[in-house]
Structure 1
Amino acid sequence: MAKRSNGEGTICKRSDGRWMISVMLGRDNKTGKIVRKYCYGKSKSEVLKKKEALLDQRKGPVYIDADKVTVGQWVEKWLTIYAKASVRENTYAGYRSVVVNHIQPLLGDIKLQKLRGIDIQNMVNQIKDTGGGPRLAELTFAVLRIALNKAFHEEILQRLPFKTVSLPKKRRKEFTPLTATEWVRLFAVAETDAEMYTALLLEWATGISRSELLGLKWIDFNFTTDNVSIRRAVIITDHGPKLDDTKTNARQRVLPLPEVTMQQIRLHQEQQNVIMSANKHAWENNDLVFPNFYGKLQDPRSWSKKFQKIAQRANLSITFHKLRHDHASRLSENGASIKDAQYRLGHSTTQMLLNVYTHRISGGQEKIASWLNSSFPTAPTDHETPLH
């Protein structure tokens, strides 16, 4: 066995023909014993490359001993180092909630290298069986998968154990759009709240999300061309509501508005100016279209509760988000193309629109059935001729 220079490890060729190198990484903080790692390869150069990669990895901010670290320790490190730097604050808060409430209690004590597909399957099953539902089980699995993929790409994890996991089937809930009568009822109740009435009229005309609605500024409205630009959204963070960019580039869009909506928007601006003047000492002018009483951002959750009261008074069992589904369905029923509907709703792909909002776009299937009915071939009755 030949020894290399100090600090470079011990390298040798084994009896099975493979090369091996022993690398000293330091000492255990508790026992003081030397910590060694072994790298194997088909050639001397291969194990030397693996050794260098191991040493470089140890210098980095995410180095951990994968043989000792638990799933809980790794997902915590992943949250702090990777997730926090790459996602929006509200997304990070959602990730952390999933990690703390589901991944840590069910998988946290298992060694990262010993995590098996059956362990993950058990986590998914427990979430579903304890009332969490398919959506929560899928979300938890997705967060864990992202964390494990990162460990794999950092060469901390040697295999991906989640590939054998089966997720529970989600039942698609059929959504019935509001009828014209129900919309009339909703608007009639909302007239007692000028702000809500304006917001509902704008929602009826655009189908924008709750966060996009509350993120609107007066500068977003073009009163010459009668359109609104969707540029930002209000997100929920641990420190309260905050303005951020839209979730995707596709969410940034310019939407033409009907005259009836623009008239109400103008009236709303006049009414807000009156409130601002009467409350000028406490008013914080942030140019928001739908601020709270002091001109500041509204919490989306509070807005939803406010809408819920309006809906209940209108005898409607519906959430504010369902109005977005309603808009998509009305686009479909009135012949809007799938691409136009996709742009108006701000989806990155048409698949999202097909899967979530409507199973019938632009009456296309009815048109096909009508065409087939009118084009049915009739064979001559005087001789037997194959249909063409």
Structure 2
Amino acid sequence: MAKRANGEGTICKRKDGLWTAAITVGRDEKTGKLIRKYVYGKTKTEVQEKKTTLFEQSKGITFVDADKVTVEQWIKKWLETYARPKVRQNTYESYESVATRHVIPALGKNKLTKLQSNQIQTMINEIIAKHSPRLGQYSFAVLRMALRQALKEHLLLRDPTLAVSPPKKVKKEVRQLTVEEWNKLFTEAKKKSGMHLAILVEWATGMRREEILGLRWCDTNLDKKYLSICNVVIVTKAGPQFSIPKSKSGFRQITIPDFVANELKHHKTKQTAERLAAEEWHNHDLVFCRKNGLPLEPRDFSHRFSEIAKDAGVSSTFHDLRHDHATRLFAEGKHPKDVQDRLGHSSISMTLDTYTHHVPSRQTTIADWLQTTIPSAAKS
């Protein structure tokens, strides 16, 4: 009797009324046994269509190999082959860390094609219970990216993440600092070398930490009073490294007030003198740098700010200052599009969703305007 070719198989009706079909997609290299896949449906036509689709997807050795690939093996391949070439080094290291510490220990031994939604849900629930909803959400996001690439490669026939209920995003309350709190911060920052001006620039621009630390003198025009964002300093295992903004919207110009421009001019003069007097200087043209010209370590920078805030009695992180800048702009009635451009958000919906509901005075303004426009005939 002739051996069936891959894709051949019979369609039959089961006792429970369902139709089923199976096709052979290959042989196990070690045992020599046939590898068969099954499809089910309510009608013979439905099963025939599923069988044809399955046959097309099973063409090639990759589909056969998928039966042997574990979740751990695939995630590691995805990290190296797909993630590393497309994202910045710090983003790749973040993916790798969450995969190694959380996803692989929970799901890595499972066969890729056998991974179930309930297993993913259990992983997320445990991460939330042991750590935080944010980490659970991020772990799920990394796993989902890897699995969707497996779908594109036809290593999976279905997406097991579709039936999973990921944790809801927990928004951090955005609070605007008071004038008194800002004065306390600046007073305390003047005691810490190099921090006062960095905080002032943040107050005036709302730049990201990586953008502040990556700002170069060649990116400034202090006479026309604007800063160009085109270089950043990121955190990596090898130490701080230069990179570019993540998205196109990250490349932008930010105008600054006269006082900030003048303070930067004074800082540049002072830094030039320090550079000439230094025994060693690495000329990266950075506005904010170490005493030898090398970039500041972002985490150390944030830690120094935390100490200033603590000593000043102000509850704030450096990133909170970015939020403060945006809320101040909205409180003054600035157009959302202008705020979006200033912050470098990729979409205006991100800006609106994050900030506008924290400005209750907008509703008062609307009510006041309506009060002045009441049609005369409406009054009793």
* TM-score normalised by structure 1 residue count: 0.85
Do the aligned residues in 2 keep the contact of 1:329 with 1:357 (CA within 8 Å)? yes
Matched residue of 2:194: which SS?
helix
Larger displacement relative to structure 2 (336-345 or 233-242): 233-242
Identify the structure with bigger relative contact order (alpha carbons < 8 Å, sequence gap 6+). Answer: 2
1:86: which partner in 2? Answer: 86
Instruction: State the AA in 2 paired with 1:159.
Output: R
Structure 1 portions without partners, runs of 5+: 382-388
SS in 1 for 2:162: helix
Decide whether the 8 Å contact of 1:212 with 1:232 is kept in 2: yes
Q: 2:117 corresponds to which residue?
A: 117
| Matching residue within 44, 48, 56 for 1:50 | 56
11-20 vs 218-227, which moves further? 11-20
Q: Which residue of structure 2 aligns with residue 314 of structure 1?
A: 312
- What amino acid maps onto 2:94 in structure 1? G
Which residues of 2 match residues 197-236 of structure 1 at below 5 A? 197-236=196-235
- Note the alpha carbon deviations across 1:152-211, whole angstroms, 9 max, x for none: 111101111111211233443323211112111211121223521111111111000100
Contact 1:229–1:254 (8 Å) recurs in 2 = yes
Structure 2 counterpart of 1:373: 371
The 1:122/1:286 distance shift into structure 2, 3 A limit, reads same
Amino acid across the alignment from 1:336? K
Q: Give, in whole Å, the separation in 2 of the partners of 1:64 and 1:80.
A: 22
Quote how far apart the aligned CAs of 1:20 are. 7.5
CA contact (8 A) 2:302 2:317 kept: yes
What CA deviation, in whole Å up to 9, does each residue of 1:203-235 have, x standing for no partner?
111000100000011000113311110112111
Rate the CA distance shift 1:216–1:35 in 2: closer, same or farther, 3 A.
farther
Give the match's secondary structure for 1:165.
coil
Distance 1:258 1:379 in 2: 46
Mapped to 2, the partners of 1:231 and 1:217 lie a distance apart of 9
* Alignment CA distance shift 1:176-1:337 (3 Å): same
Unaligned stretches of 5+ residues in structure 2? 13-18, 39-46
Counterpart for residue 129 of structure 1: 129
**Distance in 1, Cα, partners of 2:92 & 2:153:** 21
Pairwise CA RMSD of aligned residues? 2.8
Structure 1 residues 64 and 192: alpha-carbon distance in aligned structure 2, compared to 1, 3 A threshold: farther
Which letter does structure 1 place at the counterpart of 2:334?
A
User: Residue 281 of structure 2 is aligned with which of 283, 295, 300?
Assistant: 283
- 1:384 alignment partner in structure 2: none
* Within-5 A mapping of 1:128-167: 128-130=128-130, 132-167=131-166
CA contact (8 A) 2:66 2:113 kept: yes
Deviation, structure 1 residue 343: 0.4
Q: CA deviation at 1:46?
A: 5.4
How big is the shift at 1:92? 0.6
Distance 1:101 1:380 in 2: 67
**2-side partners of 1:95 and 1:358: how far apart?**
31
Contact 2:121 2:164 in 1 (8 A): yes
Query: What CA distance in whole angstroms lies between the structure 2 residues aligned with 1:11 and 1:49?
Result: 5
Q: Within 2, Cα distance between the matches of 1:73 and 1:11?
A: 27
1:352 is aligned, of 350, 358, 361, to 350
- Opposite residue 98 of structure 1, the aligned amino acid is V
SS at match of 2:66: coil
Distance 1:228 1:362, change over 3 A: farther
- Measured in 2, the distance between the counterparts of 1:64 and 1:302 equals 49
1:356 shift after superposition: 2.6
Give a deviation string over 1:279-309, Cα, whole Å, max 9, x none.
1x31111111111111111110010011112
Counterparts in 2 of 1:3 and 1:288: CA distance versus 1, 3 Å: same
> 1:8-87, aligned counterparts within 5 Å?
9=5, 12=8, 14=10, 16=12, 22=24, 24=26, 28=29, 31=30, 33-34=31-32, 36-38=34-36, 42=48, 50=56, 54-55=59-60, 58=62, 65-87=65-87
**In structure 2, how many angstroms separate the alpha carbons of the residues matched to 1:363 and 1:315?**
27
3-state SS of 1:367 partner: helix
Cα distance in 1 for partners of 2:379, 2:213 equals 66
CA distance change for structure 1 residues 230 and 134 in 2, over 3 Å: closer, same or farther?
same
The alignment-based identity, stated in percent, is 41
C-alpha spacing 1:247/1:15, structure 2 compared with 1 (3 Å): closer
Secondary structure of the structure 1 residue equivalent to 2:168: coil
How many residues align? The count is 364
Q: Distance in 2 between matches of 1:47 and 1:311?
A: 61
Checking the alignment, whether the CA contact within 8 Å between 1:120 and 1:165 is kept in structure 2 is yes
Q: In structure 2, give the amino acid aligned to 1:289.
A: V
* Residue deviations 1:98-127 (CA, integer Å, cap 9, x gap): 111111111112222221111111111101
Report the residue type matching 2:330 in the other structure: S
